[in-house]
A and B are shown apart, each in its own frame.
Chain A
Amino acid sequence: MYFVEQLINGLSQGAIYALMAIGFTLIAGEVGLVSFTYGDTVMLGAFSAYWACSLFAENFLLTVLFTILVSSLMSIVLHAVCMAQFLDAPKHISMICTIGFGIILKNAVQLIAGYEVKAMPELLGRSYFELGGIRIGYVKLYIVAIVIVLCAILSFLLNRTKTGVRLRAVSQDRKAASLIGIDVQRTTRLGNLIGCMIGGLAGLLYAIYYGSILPTMGGAISMKAMSASVLGGLCNIPVAAFAGLLLGIFENFSIALFPQGYRDLISFLFLILVLVFKPHGFEFRFKKHSRKEAEHA
């Protein structure tokens, strides 16, 4: 029964990680840049949810909307500052910019909200059901359900709409996309927007699941999102989501195996192991910049 409990915990935590991985991968694939500010995006989402709770008297829908609003605004600023100019420049320039941006975000939140841990109200209720002697909060199931719905919406957007086609085109070959008339700036801004919105919502769910938030939580989150995303070669969304799920489950089961402090180690080890054996992750899609072989066929 302990196994089932951990499995369910793992699934909910994994669902949140999966969501984060999806957002991260979307941005990395779309804009072509690894964003070191992603953890802080999630953190901002968590804090906007926290503030929304006091503003809107714990109304779930309004909290969600507020989180989406804040994340969207942030993403537009992020794009203008760190990405718009540097799409064709050496990658590390925008990477440094995102690092700077992340520092600004983190410290801005710290200035506004203070340095202590904040307790998040239980937006999704406290009810639970019993199964074989253990209590399972409905919250965990709601989280999984919300993530599934979001994935479905995203999948529909990417695969069945014109906008989705544009997004996918730009992520596969930016030059070719611009040659056929796609506005690359607008599309990368949109991709970044969606990715950050997803990140913000992941932050919201994270806050609900863990119940407490800190301005400095971004760092570990960045690493986890990155680890999961790397498995998909930084461009494959379903694989990244799956990896996030696995990571969550694995982390929960490892409580039994490893001492408390080493838990965060799991995601980093996972990351390095993946990269040692599969330097480009499991790419199921030909990515222009990562194969030099077919260059001179």
Chain B
Amino acid sequence: MLNRAVNYVKAHRLPFFIVFAVLVLAFPIIIPSNFVRGIAVRTVLYMLFASSLNLINGYCGHFSIGHAGFMCIGCYTAGLLATKAGLGFWLIVPISGIVTSLFGLLVFLPTNRLSGMYLSIVTLGFAEIVRIIVLNWTSLTNGPLGVKGIPSIKLFGLKLTSTTEYYYVILFLLVLSLFCMYRILHSRVGRAWMSIRENPDAACSLGVELAKYKAINFVVGAFFCGVAGCFMAFYYRYIDTTMFTIDESFNVLSMVIVGGMGTLVGPILGAFVINLITETFRFASEYRMLLYGILIILTMWIRPQGIAGASNSVLATKRMAKRVQSAAKAKRSEA
């Protein structure tokens, strides 16, 4: 039944998109509650984080589970540059992106020869290393006290103060990033990435330099994460390492997976759904995480390719395993 709903939407893409775009743009005007607007800002921010992770995990065959490491770098770079060097938001955005992408390169280097599980474990290790170093390098980062007093965003000399204004900024960043991602994915670079994901041997035999393009993939994904991290620092005005734990990595990862890895719209949906659920159940805050865990497991059981994922994609093959097993069972019982 869910399948039919998804297929209906896919068949009527344009009208859905227009309605969606209008809702998104008019959102702060329609909903007067500042609390809800705050949730919206956070949700859109997560959409950008999830999209950046999706770029790494969904298109090049990597499976990074340590995204919080990149988030931490992006955030802290922005926070420190803002408080210690007094630079403005719009200047820091690209700097944050570049610094984080350098870290992306750093993370890639030892993972080049690794596959699958090992690569994932290393990404997790890296995220923790980053967090611990940032936590303990008190002279630079203020250690457990975090970075506070990050100024607000200035646009044409005017300080942005309301949640609505921040909403439009992050929306702008998201749309711009998605636009760039779309263009990259539909070019020689994107095709090289996907060829590596589908069949690295064949890709290599066709002249695709595996190491180079895997590295580029990490670098670009990390760049967009850095951009998002910069916004995060300027929105929350205060950051510390407790925001970048393993749980946070898993949080963003689950948004990508639940929404559909390997599609541009997947992480958007995933971030939306997960934030919707965690916010709706805020009143039952103790049970919130329990529900979250159950949601993840349910998604893997019912629709492992995620909401937006294609039913015939490699991610949906859980069902194949089930059919094979029941066939084997039938054979055993008649033997």
Contact = CB atoms under 8 A, between A and B. Distances in A.
Nearest to B200: A292
Given A104-B293, A108-B290, A268 B317 contact: no
B125 A223 contact: yes
Given A96-B257, A97-B297, A272 B321 contact: no
A154 interface: no
Interface string A100-130: 1111101110110000000000000000000
A262 B132 contact: yes
B328 A100 contact: no
B105 interface: no
Contacts of B250: 99, 103
Nearest to B318: A89
A90 B317 contact: yes
A150 interface: no
B135 A261 contact: yes
B326 to A, nearest CB: 11
B23 interface: no
A261 B118 contact: no
A276 B126 CA distance: 13
A88 B124 contact: no
Contact of B136 (A178, A185, A259, A275): A259
Interface in B96-126: 110-111, 113-118, 120-122, 124-126
A4 interface: no
Counting contact residues on chain A (CB < 8 A from B), the size range is 35 or more
Nearest to B249: A99
B293 A100 contact: yes
Given A99-B250, A272-B122, A272-B125, A92 B63 contact: yes
Interface of A is mostly: helix
A211 interface: no
A94 B247 CA distance: 17
Interface centre among A94, A111, A275 (most CB of B within 10 A): A275
B211 interface: no
A73 interface: no
Residue from B297, B301, B317 with most neighbouring chain A CB atoms (10 Å): B297
B292 A103 contact: yes
Interface string B121-144: 110111011001101100000000
A155 interface: no
Contacts of B114: 275, 279
B75 to A, nearest CB: 19
B300 interface: yes
A135 interface: no
A223 B160 CA distance: 42
B328 A178 contact: yes
A164 interface: no
B132 A261 contact: yes
A141 interface: no
Contact of B116 (A91, A223, A269): A91
Interface stretch (A12-20, A54-62, A79-87, A198-206): A79-87
A279 B132 CA distance: 24
B122 A271 contact: yes
A99 to B, nearest CB: 5
8 contacts: A81-B297, A85-B318, A89-B321, A94-B300, A111-B290, A262-B133, A265-B129, A275-B118
Going nearest first, the 3 A-B pairs with the smallest beta carbon separation are A100-B296, A103-B293, A88-B321
Interface of B: 63, 110-111, 113-118, 120-122, 124-126, 128-129, 132-133, 135-136, 245-247, 250, 253-254, 257, 286-287, 289-290, 292-297, 299-301, 304, 314-315, 317-318, 320-322, 324-325, 328
Given A103-B292, A219-B246, 6 more contacts: A100-B300, A102-B293, A110-B286, A234-B117, A265-B132, A279-B113
